Amino acid sequence: MSFKKSDYYTLASKASDIVPGFQAAWQKFVEHATIHQKSKSLATNYGRNIAQVALHFGKVPHLISVGEIRTYLYHISTTEGKSEGYFKQTVYGLRYWYRVFGQDADALQLPPLKNKKSLPAVLSKQECRALFKAPHTLKHKFLLAFGYSSGLRMNELRLIKISDVDLDRLQIHVRMGKGMKDRYVPLSKIIAEKLPLYLREVHPRTYLFEGLTPGQPMGVRSIQYIVTEALAKTEISKNVSMHTLRHSYATHLLEDGVDIYSIQRLLGHTNIQTTIVYLHIAQVKPKLGHSPLDTLYGRL
C-alpha cells in the first residue's frame, strides 16, 4: 500500500506550506499508517480535520495542549456548528496522531465518543428506482445503480477497476476493502447487460468511475454531489448518501430472503453484530416453526 499526495485533501497541502513542521510530521503520520497496514482511507479521512486543527493554531497538533484542543472542539461544535460526524472524525484523527508521536496520555484525555444506537435510513425499492432514474447522464445513472447493486462502501466503489468486473462469472472483485481484505460480491445481471454500453459511451480507462482526469478514480465529493443532485430531482425527503444505498442493499437482500450471515460476508463485516442492525429495519414476515420431518416427506 502506498499513499500519493493527490489522495489527500488540499487542506493537508495548505498546512504543509503554512504551518512550521507540519510537512515532516504529516510524512511521519503517513509512514506510520503505511507500516501498520492501515487502510488508505485513514489518511484521507483524518487528513482534512488534522490539517484544520494545525491551521487554526498555526502549529502541529502534538505541540498543542489538550486544554486548547478541548476548547477548539467546543468551538467547532457550538460556534461553528460542525456536524457530529465532523466532531468525531476530528477526535479520532487527533487520537491517532497523538499515538503516532508517543503521546498516549494526551490521546486518553480527549473526550469519549458514545456510539448512538440509531438505525440507519434506508430507501424503499420504489425510492431506489426513482433515484436511479433522476440523473440526465448515463454515467451518473450507472454509478448510482452500480453502487446499490453491489452494496459497496464509498472508497470501494471509487476504486473498482474495469478489470475487477467479471462478466463471465457475474462477480465483482473488491480489493483491499475495509480491514485490508479482498472479497467478491455478485454482479447484477442488469448491470452486466448495461456495462458494454456504459464503456462505449463513457470511455473510462482504468477505473470504472473516473473523474475529470482520465485514468484516475472519481473523488468522494464528486460522487456525493451526484447523489445530492439526483435526490433533488425526486420527492424523496430522506437524508441520502452513497452509504444509504449500501444500507438499502443489505435491507432489501434480507427482505428478499437472504440469510444474515451471507449478507455479512457480502458487506465485508468482520463482526456479525454490525450486520444484525438490518434485522431491525427489514420488513420480514416471521415464519412459523415446523417439524423438519414434515418437510422431509413434502407434507408442508
Cβ neighbours of residue 213 under 8 Å, at least 6 residues apart?
none
- Whether residue 297 lies inside any domain: the answer is no
104 with 129, same domain: the answer is: no
183-186 and 171-174: which strand pairing?
Answer: antiparallel
Among 109, 138, 163, where does a domain finish? 109
Positive/negative CA dihedral, 171, 167, 151, 83: positive
If one counts the domains in the chain, the total is 2
CATH, residue 185 = 1.10.443.10
- Cβ(140)–Cβ(226) under 8 Å? yes
Cβ neighbours of residue 265 under 8 Å, at least 6 residues apart?
183
141 with 268, same domain: the answer is: yes
- Whether residue 300 lies inside any domain: the answer is no
User: What residues are labeled active site?
Assistant: 153, 178, 243, 246, 269, 278
Among 77, 109, 141, where does a domain finish? 109
The structure's pTM equals: 0.64
CATH, residue 92 = 1.10.150
276 with 145, same domain: the answer is: yes
147 with 274, same domain: the answer is: yes
3-state helix, strand, coil in the chain (%, to 5): 60, 5, 35
- Whether residue 247 lies inside any domain: the answer is yes
Residue with cell 468486473: 165
80 with 201, same domain: the answer is: no
13 with 97, same domain: the answer is: yes
Residue 214 belongs to what domain range? 125-280
Write out the chain's pLDDT in tens, 300 residues: 344 444 444 788 899 999 999 999 999 998 888 888 777 677 777 888 999 999 999 999 999 998 999 999 998 888 887 888 888 889 989 999 999 999 888 777 887 776 666 788 999 999 999 999 999 999 999 999 999 999 999 999 999 999 999 999 999 999 977 767 899 999 999 999 999 999 999 999 999 999 999 999 999 999 999 999 999 999 999 999 999 999 999 999 999 989 999 999 999 998 888 888 888 888 776 666 677 777 777 665
Angle at 196 between CA 193 and CA 197, to 5 degrees: 95
Instruction: Identify the burial level of 30 via C-beta atoms within 10 angstroms of its C-beta, where 0-12 means exposed, 13-18 middle and 19 or more buried.
Output: buried
- Whether residue 299 lies inside any domain: the answer is no
165 with 276, same domain: the answer is: yes
Rounded CA-CA distance 29/251 in Å is 37
Q: Among 124, 152, 266, 143, which residue's Cα sits nearest to residue 194?
A: 143
Long-range CB contacts (within 8 A, 24+) of 99-102: 100/28, 100/29, 100/32, 101/25, 101/28, 101/62
Other beta carbons less than 10 A from residue 63's beta carbon: 12
Q: Among 248, 264, 245, which residue's Cα sits nearest to residue 256?
A: 248
